[in-house]
């Protein structure tokens, strides 16, 4: 069974992004949902799918206006 909550480091690996980018651009700016559990910051596994879907929609909308 897949984990329901994953570390930012694991999320970065799954998304193919750098750890620092996940912390500074996604978590700090609220672009990727996360939970505080004790002293840890964890990301619900389904939040990765939601983030990717939102980014696809955002980029598709941006491309509609491009020549």
Of the candidates 32, 45, 35, which has an alpha carbon nearest to the alpha carbon of residue 6?
45
- Per-residue pLDDT tens digits for 9-46: 999 999 999 999 999 999 999 999 999 999 999 999 99
Q: How many domains does the chain have?
A: 1
pLDDT over 60 at 1, yes or no:
no
Q: Torsion angle of alpha carbons 21, 25, 31, 36, nearest 10°?
A: 70
Q: Which residue segment(s) compose the domain that 46 sits in?
A: 5-64
For 29, phi then psi, to 5°, come to -95, 5
pTM: 0.85
């Amino acid at each position: 069974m897949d984990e329901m909550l994953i570390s930012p480091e694991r999320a970065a690996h799954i998304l193919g992004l750098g750890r620092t980018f996940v912390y500074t651009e996604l978590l700090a700016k609220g672009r990727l949902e996360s939970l505080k559990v004790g002293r840890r910051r964890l990301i619900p596994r389904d939040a990765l799918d939601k983030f990717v879907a939102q980014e696809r929609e955002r980029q598709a909308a941006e491309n509609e206006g491009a020549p």
